[in-house]
Amino acid sequence: MATTTVEKKVIVVGIDDSEHSFYALEWTLDHFFAAFASNPPFQLVVVHAKPTPTSVVGLGGPGAFDVIPYVDIDLKKIAARVIEKAKELCTNKSVNNVVVEVVEGDARNVLCEAVEKHHASILVVGSHGYGAIKRAVLGSVSDYCAHHAHCSVMIVKKPKIKH
């Protein structure tokens, strides 16, 4: 009797250094992985988009070029922290077969490209809960992905604490 290996569907989770994205990762682990113990039906891919130093510094001003190496070092440290925390969350939830990637670039493009690369079925992103003005100025990663990713996009919102 021939055994066939069933290709697992892929879930890509986009993370940054915000509590919203870690909440989205934890939510995904709880709802798609925890119940299946050692054999979840999905392959988890965690992607962190590391901004380019020039996107953080901007293009203007004297001395901007001089700070780029320092900004890059900071961005690499942040990326390392983000990845470490993501791996820790996965380990704590007994999810060990995780692909973790740091890709330099704008989060919107990085996440949509990760969906293509991994043939993802679902893209999970956290919601920062920005107001309309901040969202209009910054552009919403989740909004962009919802319109451009070639898979279902789930936006996980952290519950507001009621006072």
Q: What is the CATH number of the domain that holds 149?
A: 3.40.50.620
Q: How far apart are CA 100 and CA 45, in angstroms?
A: 6
Q: What pLDDT sits at residue 33?
A: 92
Q: Which strands make up the sheet holding 98-104, listed edge to edge?
A: 98-104, 42-50, 9-15, 122-126, 152-156
Q: Is residue 2 part of a domain?
A: no
Q: Is residue 1 part of a domain?
A: no
Q: What pLDDT sits at residue 27?
A: 96
Q: Is residue 73 part of a domain?
A: yes
Q: What pLDDT sits at residue 81?
A: 96
Which pLDDT band holds residue 130 (cuts at 50, 70, 90)?
low
Q: What is the pLDDT of residues 14-30, one digit of tens each?
A: 999 999 999 999 999 99
Mean pLDDT, range 115-119, rounded to an integer: 98
Mean pLDDT, range 72-84, rounded to an integer: 94
Q: Is residue 84 part of a domain?
A: yes
Q: How far is CA 32 from CA 29, 41, 90, 99, 122, in A?
A: 6, 8, 12, 16, 11
Q: What pLDDT sits at residue 30?
A: 95
pLDDT at 34 over 90: no
CB burial class (10 A; 0-12, 13-18, 19+) of residue 24?
buried
Q: Is residue 112 part of a domain?
A: yes
In this structure, are strands 9-15 and 152-156 parallel, antiparallel, or unpaired? Answer: unpaired
Domain count, the chain: 1
Domain that holds residue 104: 17-37+49-156
Which of residues 126 and 61 earns the better pLDDT score?
126
Which of residues 33 and 134 earns the better pLDDT score?
33
Burial 129-147 (b: 16+ CB within 10 A, else e): eeeeeeeeeeebbbebbee
Q: What pLDDT sits at residue 131?
A: 62
